[in-house]
Amino acid sequence: MQRQSIWVVAAVVGLLLAGSYPLAQELGVASLRGAQVDVPVGIEDLAAQHKRRFNRAYRMQPPLIPHGIDQYQIDAANNQCLGCHDWSNAGDQDAPTLSMTHYLDRDGRQLDEVAGTRWFCNQCHVTQADVEPLVENTFVPSSQR
Ligand code: HEC
Ligand code: HEC
């Protein structure tokens, strides 16, 4: 009996959530870039790639990615970035090699394969674009302090 009522509550909550979607629009809820939440945003408009490398803003910054990455799959089994950036391929591909910090596991052991903690590259590296900051802020690169 109790289990049944849990399902009823779940169904009601689900319906309410589904119903609130158009509500977001009515209330004028928009993304940081001012787009309506139900309108797809074309990334071409926002993130024109800049081919030359940007300076790092501080010494240990993960460098920005100076090329597109939308074609490169990263999941539990595959990581296409490694096809160019792993130490075993980078020479052939004329790409910068992952720095050796990427081959240290969390216990400080040197590995021959990229560490699990560095598997999801775009956790730290993002593609670069010369765009206005989404939120006003006072950040300055450490070299300009
Ligand atoms: C087809 C080969 C190739 C693939 C695949 C590739 N890259 Fe690259 N990447 C390059 C090359 C070549 C450069 C150097 C470009 C330059 O210097 O202008 C580069 C540069 C970079 C840099 C800048 C390094 C620095 O020192 O400034 C980063 C970060 C990077 N790639 C990350 C990635 C990530 C993350 C992926 C996967 C989502 C990826 N790359 C997939 C070829 C590749
Ligand atoms: C936990 C954050 C993190 C992850 C995940 C990560 N990186 Fe990095 N990466 C960094 C940092 C920080 C640096 C700069 C300091 C250094 O070289 O270790 C860097 C440096 C680099 C460089 C420049 C190397 C050089 O010597 O100029 C490349 C290329 C790169 N990463 C590619 C990748 C790729 C490809 C992946 C995924 C396989 C990846 N990174 C995953 C944080 C990360």
Q: What are the domain boundaries of the chain?
A: 1-41, 42-132
Task: Give the residue among 81, 78, 61 at the shortest CA–CA distance from 70.
Answer: 81
Q: What integer pLDDT is reported at residue 63 of this predicted model? A: 94
CA separation for the pair 137, 140 (Å, rounded)? 9
Most confident of 4-18, 32-46, 59-73: 59-73
Measured in Å, residue 129 CA sits from the centre of ligand 2 at 18
Average pLDDT value for the chain:
83
Q: Give yes or no for residue 82 CB within 6 A of ligand 2.
A: yes
Q: Give yes or no for residue 128 CB within 6 A of ligand 2.
A: no
Q: What integer pLDDT is reported at residue 43 of this predicted model? A: 60
Greater confidence (11 vs 112) lies with: 112
Mean pLDDT of 19-35: 70
Whether 47 has a pLDDT exceeding 50, the answer reads: no
Q: Which two tokens stand for residue 115?
A: 């560490």
Ligand nearest 69 Cα, by number?
1
Measured in Å, residue 130 CA sits from the centre of ligand 2 at 21
pTM of the model: 0.81
Sign of CA dihedral 96, 123, 72, 134: negative
Mean pLDDT of 111-133: 92
DSSP string computed for the chain? -HHHHHHHHHHHHHHHHHHHHHHHHHTT-B-TTS-BTTS---HHHH-PBP-SPPPPSSTTPPPPB-S--TT--BSSS-BTTHHHHSTTTHHHHT-PPPPGGGGB-TTS-B-SS--GGGSSGGGT--B-B----SS------GGG-
- Atom 22 (ligand 2): residue with closest C-alpha? 98
Ligand nearest 120 Cα, by number?
2
Q: Domain 42-132 belongs to what architecture? A: Orthogonal Bundle (1.10)
